[in-house]
Amino acid sequence: MDAHMAANKIVLTRELLTSPSSRRGGGNGRSSSNDFSYMGFRSSLHAMITTGVSNQTFYIGDSSGENGRAYGLVNIAAFLAMSVEDSIVHGSCDEVNRDLVGGLLPISNACGQNGRSYEDTNCPIGEEMYTCDVDPTMRAVANDIDGAKAKEGGGDVPPKPFYCGPTSDYGGSTGYWDYVSGAEFGQPPVENGMGKTNVEGCCWWGRGSIQLRGVCAYGKLNYHLGKRAHDEGRPSMYPDVDFCRDPQAVCSHEKYPDLKWIAGMFRWITEVQTYDQGDFNYMNRLIRFVDGGLQDWTFVHGMSGIVTQGCHEPPCIEGVEFDGADRMATFKKTLRLLGLSVNDGSATGRRLGELNG
């Protein structure tokens, strides 16, 4: 598996792990906290295969059966494709402000987009112990998406990165981002989709390759991999990082630049690989998809729904647009980049049996 991935390193970097504006020639060639490197992916994957989360690891297939290796390769392709659509295509580890409300782009979208309130996403009954406490004095600022880089690449100037803090920092309320002038306007106060007009207690926006959002998700990360695990005597990858006090560490920690990949894989292991609702068991559907010759695209539709909306039959959040077509196209592209034949009329790639040869 490692040799197979390494053989495709260059094409994966060029075609998947580089944001569109960078491919068009934007940027200054220097690395940034928004970069998703192949080496970062590789080292993070190794950590989540060998260490994992609470006795669960990133699935890379097995040596039994004709398609054993292909199962793992398709799981990796699925993870990479969802990472591209969640974060890499936007050129940002942090969630990007893009939920228009009444024709405006509220600054308070930091508190939640697409009908969600991230500070209120408490863990379900039986898992309450994971939830982070909301601190109204907490401050955080997302990483810049380089506007100059976007312009050089032929794109638009992106909106100002999310920020959060007490109302005393910005006069009690927040306004909106204006695309025409490329500036933030503080007045009039503008509500996000949940009626919020400030960013107090709103430090829980999405971060990571496949983005974690909300107080439950960051609390689980802290419980299993962060400071809380260390403090309570459990093994911890990041004993000095309290994700409930510093969720921005996922994208901005200088000591751990690959946290963006680890956070995404954490979510993949704990939410996607374990998903079993109704008639959709992710692992069973993955195996069925491979054994059926990579042509049952309901697998991708369900997987995309799990990642974006928490269900396998999207849309399941009222009024929220589902970007299933984009995710389907990126998944097919990723399979081809990894050398697999996709049964949608294309003849490129290798047959499944060749992977185990």
Query: Tell me, what's the pLDDT at 357?
Result: 45
Position 18 scores a pLDDT of 87
For residues 160 and 49, the answer to whether their CB atoms sit within 8 Å is: no
Say which DSSP state 200 is in.
T
Q: How far apart are CA 42 and CA 13, in angstroms?
A: 12
Whether a cis peptide bond, with omega within 30° of 0, leads into 315 is: yes
User: Helix or strand or coil: residue 178?
Assistant: strand
- Residue-level pLDDT at 8: 84
Query: In the prediction, which pLDDT does 355 show?
Result: 53
Nearest in space to 36 (alpha carbons), one of 76, 71, 87: 87
Q: What is the CA radius of gyration of the chain?
A: 20
> pLDDT (tens digit, 9 = 90+) per residue, 129-157?
999 999 999 999 999 885 544 443 344 67
Measured from the Cβ of residue 199, the count of other Cβ atoms closer than 10 Å reads 27
Q: Would you state the pLDDT for residue 155?
A: 46
- Dist CA 250 CA 227 (whole Å): 13
Q: Which range is least confidently modeled, 118-127, 317-326, 339-348?
A: 339-348
Q: Among 222-231, 236-245, 246-255, 341-350, where is mean pLDDT lowest?
A: 341-350
Is the separation of the CB atoms in 118 and 131 below 8 Å? Answer: no
Cα–Cα distances (Å) from 197 to 167, 174, 179, in that order, read: 10, 6, 19
Phi then psi for residue 181, to 5 deg, are -90, -15
Nearest to 196 by CA among 134, 132, 145: 134
Query: What mean pLDDT do residues 36-44 have?
Result: 95
Least confident stretch, 12-21, 49-58, 79-88, 218-227: 12-21
Give the pLDDT mean for 264-277: 98
**DSSP H helices in the chain:** 2-7, 9-15, 20-23, 38-50, 68-86, 147-152, 214-225, 227-231, 249-252, 259-267, 282-291, 298-309, 324-337, 352-355
pLDDT at 31: 53
Query: In angstroms, what CA-CA distances link 120 with 62, 131, 160, 213, 318?
Result: 40, 10, 24, 11, 18
How many Å apart are CA 179 and CA 340, to the nearest integer? 41
What confidence tens digit (pLDDT) does each residue in 305-314 have?
Answer: 999 999 999 9
Q: What is the pTM for the complete model shown?
A: 0.91
